Amino acid sequence: MTTTVQNFIAGLWTGDPSYERVNPADPSDLVAVAVSSTGKEAGAAVAAASDAQSGWAGTAPTARGRVLLDAAELLGHRAQEVALDLVREEGKTRTEALGEVRRAADVLRYFGAQGWRATGEVLPSSFPDTMVYTRREALGVVAVVTPWNFPIAIPAWKIAPALVSGNAVVWKPAELTSLTASHLVRSLADAGLPPGVLNLVNGRGSEAGEALVSHPDVAAVSFTGSTDVGLHIHEVAGRRRARVQLEMGGKNAVVVLDDADVARAAATVAAGAFGLTGQACTATSRVYCTPGIIDGFLASLEKSAGEFEPGDGRKDDVRMGPVVSDAQLRTIRGFVEKAKNDGASFLHGADEPDGLFLRPTIVTGAKPTADIVRNEVFGPVVAVLEVPDLDAAIDAVNDSRYGLTAGICTRDLASAQEFAARAKVGVVKVNRPTTGLDLNAPFGGVRDSSTNTYREQGMAAVEFYTWSKTVYLGHDRPG
Ligand code: NAP
Ligand code: MG
């Protein structure tokens, strides 16, 4: 079944759909036809958001929170249907997709409850009979620009804190995943979100996205995506001093020390590298092993890789779906070919893909300076290198322009703590895959992975979407 996806502006579904999205697992399955917006639609959405924002900010926070909670219930009831669309549109497995949709519902619940929590603080004053307190004020109209790889969870963790804080939102999802985007909007609209408070503008980043982030009435931009696009948005929006939050690329490493449980370390790395088809910003793509474990680890990893044979995510037993698009496949294949030419070897994968199905690929013998070791591949490909000891491993992990997540597999607490202290990344995982996050814990990177100003998720998200006003409230005593 093909679904048409319109824009959602001022509470109305509008526009003539023309962009065709085909299932990456099955070219005969035309999943959606979506509107391809230009600056005109982006402008109309910002105008609608501007009109609606002050009314929404003036609504009781508990009433704003209630809309999010009701939307979570609706999304929960529709989870199977939405997950199937996500599988067909993005290529995830059913388990991955259902997990993501349920995560989005939980994110709405978590931030919905924020409507009942205290914000701001009360401070002691040096002035007589004066109370000092801070208020968290909404920013106004905020733009949310999101990637295709978590097409409903990432938008939820940006849009929910923005809305509960009293902002109006204009959202430009990735063009590849407009249908999944429309489900989130529908759940919020059906839950009673007033017209104009959330607007959906589908289309290409270079047109609709660019117009949105350059719009003078947009007070803040929250972006997740590639580093190149993120840095460009920072410049455009930063020029007018709009608040900008960027979560971008990663080149996430795992260190495996001699004392690790070899089978568990391999399973941990395989889950981080091949789960979600390696298309996660937190995916494991480099591994540094110490000499006593590397051979056993590689043998175990090869075995684990065999459990991730790619297939159509609609089938129940499939553990890894296809790559999202031809363009993504070409990028990944480019990295693998270059590694081959640079003299690297392959333990698993690296063969011809079948359509967009790419087998998990393990690269060995690559030089530390090779492209495959330094740059984000964003596919089921992992490079394994040998290092002499923990110190050298930490240096290798930190020798990167990125700093999103990093992991270590060890049974030694001192090594784990040393790594946690010295790894230059936003998230450290000990004996756990680099992928997989709690929605209530702050998330973000350092260096070229992030603006490293405001974190996402948890209560840290609310800080980004509000500004602090300080009030001195004096009261004169009678007489
Ligand atoms: P992308 O190509 O950077 O696109 C992200 C979003 O930006 C899309 O909606 C895109 O539109 C839009 N865009 C492109 N050019 C724009 C412009 N000039 N102005 C405004 N918007 C513009 O990223 P992607 O390919 O969707 O996703 C993969 C990347 O996301 C990877 O690098 C990955 O590491 C990163 N990522 C990071 C995190 C994190 O939290 N750090 C999480 C997930 C993914 P289109 O529809 O035209 O592409
Ligand atoms: Mg892209």
Selection from 79, 248, 71 nearest residue 163 by Cα: 71
Model pTM?
0.98
pLDDT band at 392 (very low <50, low <70, confident <90, very high): very high
Set 47, 281, 283, 294: catalytic member: 281
What are the pLDDT digits (tens) for 67-106?
999 999 999 999 999 999 999 999 999 999 999 999 999 9
Q: Assess whether 113 and 260 both reside in one domain.
A: no
Q: Is the Cβ atom of 225 under 6 angstroms away from ligand 1?
A: yes
Distance from the CA of 453 to the center of ligand 1, in angstroms? Answer: 19
Q: Is the Cβ atom of 382 under 6 angstroms away from ligand 1?
A: no
Residue 11: count of CB within 10 angstroms of its CB: 15
Examine residue 440 and state whether it is found in any structural domain, yes or no: no
Per the annotation, the verdict on 289 as an active-site residue is no
pLDDT of 453:
87
Q: Assess whether 258 and 275 both reside in one domain.
A: yes
Domain assignment of residue 317, given as a range: 252-430
Examine residue 441 and state whether it is found in any structural domain, yes or no: no
In this structure, which residue's CA is closest to atom 40 in ligand 1?
247
Sheet of 26-35, strands arranged across? 3-5, 26-35, 17-23
Q: Number of structural domains, the chain?
A: 2
pLDDT of 67:
98
pLDDT of 348:
83
DSSP letters of 327-375? Answer: HHHHHHHHHHHHHHHTT-EEEE--S--BTTB---EEEES--TTSHHHHS
Q: Assess whether 157 and 297 both reside in one domain.
A: no
Please compute the mean of the pLDDT values over residues 387-391 and round it to a whole number. Answer: 98
CATH code, domain with 390: 3.40.309.10
CATH code, domain with 68: 3.40.605.10
Q: Assess whether 98 and 213 both reside in one domain.
A: yes
